[in-house]
Structure formats: C-alpha cells, structure tokens
Amino acid sequence: MEIGILGGTGPAGTALGARLASVGYSVVLGSRSKYRAMEVRDTVLERWAAHELDLEAGDNLRAAQADLVVIATPWDGAATTAQSLEAELAGKVVVSMANALVRVGHEFQPLVPPRGSVAAHVQAAVPSARVVAAFHHLPAKELGMLGHPIESDVLICSDDPEATKAVSEITARIPGCRPLDAGELSNATAIEAFTAVLLQLNVRYRTRVAPKLTGIRT
C-alpha cells in the first residue's frame, strides 16, 4: 500500500511518514513545494539509512494520488487543502490528524472548528472521501525515533467502518501502538480537544505523554 501525507514536511507529518515507511509502507511526503519535500525526505533517509525506507517526495497533488492519504497540515488549512484535491481524494480513506488548539498564557485551549472538529470539517469539504480521525495523541518526536516503540493507544473514529478497519490495521503495525475503535466521526470533537490536556501535562511535568487506557482487551 502507498500512503500519501499532505503537509508531510511538518514535524508530525515527517515523523509519521518515517514511521510508516519503517514498518513496510511506501510513503509519499507531500508539500506545497516538491523541493521542500525532497529536502526533508533526504534528511530523513540520511538519518535513518540503516532502515532502507521506501520514502518518496512530491507536491501535495502527488501525495493525494496514493492509495490512502493522511492530512498533516496545520489544522486551519486541513479542509482547504483537502478540498483543493477533491478529485484525487474521492472514494479514498483520508486520515485527519490535526488538533485545533491555541496557547493562552501557560495554558493550551481547544478551539471549535466549523462542524465541531477538524475531521468533520474535512469530511464536509470532501464528502466523497472516507474520513477517519486518528493519530492525534502521538508525540511527534517519539514517533520519529525509529527503532523505538511508542507505548500509546490510538483512538480512531469514522462514519465508515471499513475505513476505521483500514487505519486500525496500519496503526497495529507501529510497535507499541494499539488501535481502538472510538466510534463515529462525531467523537473527533472530544478526541481532538483532549490533546490540549496532554500538552498541558507535558508542560507541567516536562515530559511527553501518550494515552493508555485500561480495562480493554484486544
């Protein structure tokens, strides 16, 4: 399977792309500038040369042509980016991983995007896509440290059960990650907003936290 990442040159997109390539996927890092994508791709390949990553660089149009697409742009550009590539994204599983947050003083606060969540806004912008909300709580730095597991549950929600299953299968290949079906896309509102709590814990305890839920047998 080829996975394209729109906005794949930011910290989260680059880290996720490298991690997915490390577990056997062909990944296309997309960007508004293919030259920026090439620069980031080359840096990742040089750093992790021993992993022989299948990592391609291109513009967002090239990334949107992949079998499954992840939107890793800043939250306020996610729906606009998706809409500009509507023809390429039609019928595909499209993962929204952005969180609408703002820092006010020493506190992180969630914002309420149109439709209630970034994921729902993306779904409204590209109604023919099969939007899934996932990967919101994975710390980018640890995600990009290939060879080290990430002990985290990944909450996944979508109105399309088969799309949820597809993203769950991808998540399960990341060492240390456990995919959990968190229901329909309406639950993305709570999932995205909870990221503000995790970031606040990071600041207070000078760490990088990731959620692990007890009592679920999978």
> Per-residue pLDDT tens for 104-163?
988 899 999 999 999 999 999 999 999 999 999 999 999 999 989 999 999 999 999 999
C-beta separation of 3 from 27 below 8 A: yes
Domains of the chain (ranges, CATH numbers)? 2-205 (3.40.50.720)
Q: In what order do the strands lie in the sheet with 130-133?
A: 55-59, 26-31, 2-6, 68-71, 93-96, 130-133, 152-158, 177-181
Q: What is the pLDDT of residue 218?
A: 79
> Per-residue pLDDT tens for 4-29?
999 999 999 999 999 999 999 999 99
- The answer on pLDDT for 184 being more than 90 is yes
- How is residue 121 written in tokens? 């806004």
Helices within the chain (DSSP H only): 11-22, 34-47, 60-64, 78-84, 86-89, 118-125, 140-143, 161-172, 188-205
pLDDT above 90: percentage of residues in the chain: 92
- The answer on pLDDT for 39 being more than 90 is yes
Q: What is the pLDDT of residue 140?
A: 92
